[in-house]
Amino acid sequence: MNKLGNYISKLMTVVIDKDEEQFVKDLALSELRRLNVDMEEFIRKHTKDISDEIEERKKQLLQEDKDVKDK
């Protein structure tokens, strides 16, 4: 597992640990929320990039098809 996976797993373990202090649990939960926002932002950005590429490719294919039919 990569470093980020280990880090997230450890934070999740802290949150559910019954022997851990509430303050530490709250810090771990806060960090998980921050990471979630960062991941959501990354996913949205790259999903948009992929969608834009697909749309551009569709336009190219339609134009090529139109050019072939016009000949």
Q: How confident is the model over 10-57, as pLDDT tens digits? A: 999 999 999 999 999 999 999 999 999 998 988 888 887 777 778 888
pLDDT value for 58: 82
Give the C-alpha separation, 22 to 28, whole Å.
10
pLDDT value for 68: 72
pLDDT value for 71: 63
Its pTM stands at: 0.61
Q: Angle, nearest 10°, between helix axes 3-16 and 22-70? A: 140
| Structural domains counted in the chain | 1
Give the C-alpha separation, 42 to 39, whole Å.
5
Which range marks the domain in which residue 61 is found? 3-70
pLDDT value for 4: 76
